[in-house]
């Protein structure tokens, strides 16, 4: 049996994330310093001290979350005395977490990931004017019902699409703000348990991000990507990919495509080899989703030094 490592995406950011790792580990400190140097910006100060409004900016949140995840990976490798590919076979990341996964699998350098995530965050933030787009979480419903909700709620020349299939009963929709508001209103009469507008700065993972996708084609195509040391299960197709050119295409298409997180976890599970999912980075959102996907799956989040020390003793 083996492990699969998973990496969180936007929404998991919080002031102070990674600070204990920074203070306790030379390897973690070097990660934050390299990201700061690569961006020519003291991102670490924003991560550790805020203000929160600056950390919430997509252009900062994306490289920040990646830095925290990679710092956790470096501490795991130091404490265990093993490289990640010696501990597990698969990686997967939720949206921007896919970049964290690729850095951790030695497919992409830390510096190049930081730079391209800053560009990605800026492109996504600028793709849609403020208050034009929105996102909402739909709780306690299935894909078929939500597809009907979309048909009922979307107006002429509007976009309303499924952005994240996170877990059974937890799906996120994205699109024009007015269409999202209609969907929230219509959800009540369709027997949906709860529909909640999300506090996000743009309508991610829908076709409103098309200009961001176009802006990112060249930066992603120009990345030096190697075959990852662990197999990546990607967001766009929920398929295993290791070919660098296919990885680049996947990262580009991901910007406007649905995050197939439920399908990705099921794909890894169905290989019959993974006995535990290890979440590396800020928070434990993904570990919670895995329990919703399959209550028999084991998942643990490694965020603190204590968490990592305990894990390292077992491997």
- Region 11-31: mean pLDDT is 97
pLDDT of amino acid 277: 98
Active site residues: 95, 205
- Output DSSP code: residue 42: -
- Region 197-213: mean pLDDT is 95
Lowest mean pLDDT among 173-177, 197-201, 246-250, 304-308: 197-201
Backbone angles phi, psi at 146, to 5 degrees: -70, -35
pLDDT of amino acid 1: 80
State the Cα–Cα distance between residues 123 and 120, nearest whole angstrom. Answer: 5
Token code pair at residue 279? 């979440």
Taking the mean position of all CA atoms in its chain, how far away is CA 234?
Answer: 11
pTM of the model: 0.97
For the chain, the structural domain boundaries read 2-127+208-314, 133-201
Fold exhibited by the domain 133-201: Alpha-Beta Plaits (3.30.70)
Quick count: other Cβ atoms within 10 Å of Cβ 134? 24
| Residue at token pair 């098309």 | 210
**For 31-80, what is each residue's pLDDT tens digit?**
999 999 999 999 999 999 999 999 999 999 999 999 999 999 999 999 99
What's the CATH number for 2-127+208-314?
3.40.366.10
Mean per-residue pLDDT of the chain? 97
pLDDT of amino acid 226: 98
- Does residue 250 contact residue 153 with C-beta atoms inside 8 Å? no
| Residue at token pair 């003291």 | 42
The answer to whether residue 164 scores a pLDDT higher than 90 is yes
Token code pair at residue 290? 């895995």
DSSP string, 234-271: -TTT--EE--HHHHHHHHHHHTTS-B-HHHHHHHHHTT
């Amino acid at each position: 049996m083996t492990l699969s490592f998973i990496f969180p995406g936007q929404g998991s950011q919080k002031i102070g994330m990674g600070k204990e790792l920074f203070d306790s580990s030379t390897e973690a400190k070097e990660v934050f310093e390299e990201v700061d140097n690569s961006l020519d910006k003291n991102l670490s100060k924003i991560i550790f001290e805020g203000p929160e409004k600056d950390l919430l900016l997509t252009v900062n949140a994306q490289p920040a979350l990646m830095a925290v995840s990679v710092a956790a990976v470096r501490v795991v490798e130091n404490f265990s005395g093993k490289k990640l590919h010696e501990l597990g076979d698969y990686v997967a990341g939720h949206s921007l977490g896919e970049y964290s996964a690729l850095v951790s699998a030695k497919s992409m350098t830390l510096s190049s990931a930081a730079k391209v995530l800053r560009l990605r965050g800026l492109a996504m933030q600028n793709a849609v004017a403020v208050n034009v787009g929105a996102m909402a979480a739909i709780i306690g419903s299935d894909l078929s019902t939500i597809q009907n909700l979309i048909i009922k709620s979307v107006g002429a020349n509007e976009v309303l699409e499924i952005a994240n299939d996170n877990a059974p009963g937890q799906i996120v929709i994205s699109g024009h703000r007015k269409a999202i508001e209609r969907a929230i209103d219509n959800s009540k009469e369709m027997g949906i348990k709860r529909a909640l507008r999300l506090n996000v700065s743009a309508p991610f993972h829908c076709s409103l991000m098309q200009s961001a996708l176009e802006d990112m084609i060249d930066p992603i195509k120009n990345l030096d990507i190697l075959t990852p040391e662990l197999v990546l299960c990607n967001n766009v197709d929920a398929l295993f990919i290791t070919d660098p050119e296919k990885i680049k295409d996947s990262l580009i298409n991901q910007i406007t495509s649905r995050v197939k997180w439920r399908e990705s976890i099921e794909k890894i599970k169905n290989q019959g080899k993974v006995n535990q999912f290890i979440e590396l980075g800020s928070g434990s959102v993904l570990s919670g989703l895995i329990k919703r996907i399959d209550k028999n799956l084991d998942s643990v989040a490694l965020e603190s030094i204590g968490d990592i020390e305990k894990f390292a003793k077992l491997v």
